[in-house]
Amino acid sequence: MLHPSATGVEYLLSAAAVRERCAIVLAAAERGQTRHFRLDAGRLDEAAERVIAATRRRFPDLQVPLHSRWRHFDVGGIDRAALIAPGADPAERARARLDLAIVSVLLDAGAGRGWDYREAETGLLLGRSEGLAVASLRAMQAGLFSADPACPWRADAAALAGLTPERLGQAFQHGPGNPLLGIEARALLLRRLGEVVLALPELFGDPARLGHLCDHWLPRGDALPAPDMLRLVLRALGPIWPGRLSLDGIPLGDCGRHGVVPGDGIVPFHKLSQWLVYSLIEPLEAAGFTITDIDGLTGLAEYRNGGLFLDCGVIMPRQDDLLRRPLDPFSEPVVEWRALTVALLDRLATEVRAGLGKGAAEFPLAMVLEGGSWAAGREIAAERRPDGSAPLAIVSDGTLF
């Protein structure tokens, strides 16, 4: 049963709603009442073993960092975060790091199989999330998102609002022989971001800048709950997402509908927004904040975590052709898969912690993801398919996964 207060916009724009609504879908799968996938909970052990093995191999001392965009900036063993805002004072460096994290996360949807980024400074050829991360950092270093040519390490609302697909494509080396999926949609997303931020000086200052969120949170004191950060991000940035569900005229962002959920049927995921909050934690902590209740956030409903459960047989399609035909990202099969992914990640975390001899307080879900489930999902995808693609063929516009 839904909690009596579990309705309405404020509820749906929360991590608690993600966890509770996804749990409803998992409970239906356990009863055999889901239309698109069936559950084999006994296979969860294999998934956990893969995650434990990946974690021990990648972090032998089990000192696992939080899952965040900052891991991708370090690809190739290069500390690119050290490049940000050289010579700036700690407050300005925190703003610049928030600027980069927000822009980079919002650009972190599937790049497509045919795209790579050649980093001129190192010669590295990078694809997928790592390529998008480094491309966004180098674009900021070159001043793409700044309204002040003398201060490149900024993401100003005015510059974002005027960003064209051509300029973004040039920075990301997009072209006929190296196509970045959804370049038009990515540029539109950043333009909408700039417009929304310009309209919210109480959050983003005047002149408006993404990194001014740091200043907005300062009066809260040094303790900042992660779920509260998510609520603000979802409410403030909700209007940037084109063509999504809305309720009472308020955009709901990354949500879908599923028939087993009573009432409005809405299942929220807020994948990129939660990924964003996870990625704001480190720069805020470096600025002196204490981020609390990190486990109040959920796992991320995306194709590496979800692919792990499909490839391990924890969830299996009821019709074989489901794995072969292109699927709309907001269709019920995809909503079902993503909901099962979020709910199963909580169960997976319990098994992984037991296998590593860790408790929840010292090894939060964000460490399980980083250790972890995302890496294990990528590894098993490479074992099963030559191109390492996800087991489901989801039609993306570059703004979701």
Show Cβ contacts of residue 359 under 8 Å, excluding neighbours closer than 6 positions.
353
Model confidence at 243, pLDDT cuts 50, 70, 90, reads: confident
User: What is the residue-averaged pLDDT of the chain?
Assistant: 93
Assign residue 272 a region: left if phi > 0, alpha if psi is -120 to 50, beta otherwise? alpha
- In terms of Cα–Cα distance, which of 259, 226, 300, 257 is closest to 14? 226
Beta pairing class for 223-225 and 290-292 = parallel
**CB contact at 8 A, 393 and 331:** no
Task: Say what angle helices 15-30 and 332-356 make with each other, to 10 degrees.
Answer: 100
Alpha-carbon dihedral angle through residues 197, 240, 85, 74, given to the nearest 10 degrees = 160
Question: What is the per-residue pLDDT for 212?
Answer: 97
Q: Give the separation between CA 276 and CA 36, rounded to whole angstroms.
A: 30
- The model's pLDDT over 141-150, given as tens digits with 9 standing for 90+, comes to 999 999 998 9
- The model's pLDDT over 175-212, given as tens digits with 9 standing for 90+, comes to 999 999 989 999 999 999 999 999 999 999 999 999 99
Q: Give the separation between CA 99 and CA 164, rounded to whole angstroms.
A: 19
Over residues 117-146, the mean pLDDT reads 97
- Global pTM reads 0.93
Question: What is the per-residue pLDDT for 3?
Answer: 44
Domain ranges of the chain: 1-67+239-401, 68-220
